[in-house]
Amino acid sequence: MSETSLTRFLIEAQRAGQLNAELRLLIEVVARACKRISVAVGKGALGGVLGDAVGDSGGDSINVQGEAQKKLDVLSNDILIDANAWGGHLAACASEEMPHCQPIPDAYPRGHYLLVFDPLDGSSNIDVNVSVGTIFSVLRARDGVPAEDAHFLRSGNDQVAAGYCIYGPSTMLVLTVGHGTHAFTLDREQGSFVLTRRDMRIPEATQEFAINMSNQRHWEPAMQGYVDDLLAGREGPRGKDFNMRWIASMVADVHRILTRGGIFIYPWDRKDPDKPGKLRLMYEANPMAMLVEQAGGAATDGRRRILDIAPELLHQRVPVFLGSREEVDTATAYHLRHDAAGRESGR
Ligand code: P6P
């Protein structure tokens, strides 16, 4: 049977009423931009784009998050902005790398969608040749008015599409338009994405967890108790042994979980108590939560469903628990039980 290209998959999805022509164009434009990013990432040291970006003052370039920008962060952001400017499908873009949203230039027609993305997540891994990725989320714009930051502040339930592109041994685009989660592998000879996994399903249960254990002493008690019980293995209350993986590149860790199950956790920690978590809601947690739920998994902030959270800030951070549904439910139950005990004792 002939391969199904991303273009064919999207045309068939449009024919089935799952998306319209404008959203199909948007996804194809993002996929084309990801191919360009894949080329730049793949060149590594030969591309002259490794290392930290240089700011106007000649020092390190720092983004709105207060993080040092890599040259590839800036290049990937520019590639996505430029690719989406002229097609007439977007009203505005927003990005981890930009303080505020960027409306489509007046020279071009405005469309009905908002695109928000992390152009190169995990970029601190670039210089050590570890997989990184682009994460994106699509919302409907408010018609007839110029887009602004506030228009992006919609819960994850309002996403009309979400996806990521992982730049690993192979480049893969993983996508949902609300009808399952599907994976496409880049055929470099043809230069096109080919459907390689239709309807990905995350196993309900798992024996594998992903977390940065070096933060353990900074977690809240419920988180301490949950991980202690994982580490206690078959002799402990969970009655089974667990394995651990942590790539420190969300796209790579989530891709593994979509592929074989597991739970990914980046909880709140008291290292920076004013920050509710490290990961950002709009362009990391929400798109990943939609992909995971569409694959039969679950995603919470330890207490409530990620997709139900009403955003207040464009770069808002949130604790993230996502992956195999039974394990996410168990981890969330530890937190809810702890909260209930605190209420009973008046703490
Ligand atoms: P840590 C990468 O910087 C990132 O935003 C995610 O991709 C990743 O899951 C996490 O941070 C890693 O954080 O604290 O382990 O370096």
269-306 pLDDT, tens digit per residue, is 999 888 889 999 999 999 999 999 999 999 999 999 99
The full set of domain ranges for the chain reads 6-197, 208-345
Tell me which residue of 274, 285, 10 sits closest to 164, measured CA to CA: 285
21-43 helix and 6-15 helix, angle to the nearest 10 degrees: 160
Q: With cut-offs at 50, 70 and 90, classify the pLDDT of residue 322.
A: very high
* Cross-strand pairs, 208: 243
In this model, does residue 49 exceed pLDDT 80?
no
pLDDT, tens digit (0-9, with 9 covering 90-100), for 222-235? 999 999 999 999 99
The predicted pLDDT at position 1 comes to 61
List the end-to-end C-alpha distance of the chain, in Å, as a whole number: 63
User: Is any atom of ligand 1 closer than 6 Å to the C-beta of 122?
Assistant: yes
The predicted pLDDT at position 61 comes to 77
What is the arithmetic mean of pLDDT over 17-31? 98
User: Is any atom of ligand 1 closer than 6 Å to the C-beta of 213?
Assistant: no
d(CA 54, CA 311): 32
221-232 helix and 325-344 helix, angle to the nearest 10 degrees: 130
Tell me which residue of 172, 174, 167, 187 sits closest to 76, measured CA to CA: 167
Burial 251-276 (b: 16+ CB within 10 A, else e): bbbbbbbbeebbbbbbbbbeeeeeee
The predicted pLDDT at position 144 comes to 83
The predicted pLDDT at position 48 comes to 79
Write a three-state SS string for 106-169.
CCCCCCCEEEEEEEEECHHHHHHCCCEEEEEEEEECCCCCCCCHHHHCCCHHHCCEEEEEEECC
d(CA 226, CA 26): 41
Mean pLDDT is highest, among 122-126, 181-185, 276-280, for: 181-185
CA angle 297, 294, 327 (to 5 degrees): 5
The rounded Å distance from CA 250 to ligand 1 centre is 6
208-345 maps to which CATH number?
A: 3.40.190.80
Burial zone of 17 (CB within 10 Å; 0-12 exposed, 13-18 middle, 19+ buried): exposed
Q: Which atom of ligand 1 is nearest to the CA of 246?
A: 15
Tell me which residue of 322, 319, 265 sits closest to 299, measured CA to CA: 322
The rounded Å distance from CA 280 to ligand 1 centre is 11
In this model, does residue 55 exceed pLDDT 80?
no
The predicted pLDDT at position 347 comes to 62
pLDDT, tens digit (0-9, with 9 covering 90-100), for 255-269? 999 999 999 999 999
Tell me which residue of 55, 57, 117 sits closest to 90, measured CA to CA: 117
User: Is any atom of ligand 1 closer than 6 Å to the C-beta of 121?
Assistant: yes
Asked if 258 contacts 292 with a C-beta cutoff of 8 angstroms, the reply is yes
Record the pTM: 0.96
In this model, does residue 195 exceed pLDDT 70?
yes
Q: Which CATH number fits domain 6-197: 3.30.465.10, 3.30.420.40, 3.30.540.10, 3.30.2130.10?
A: 3.30.540.10
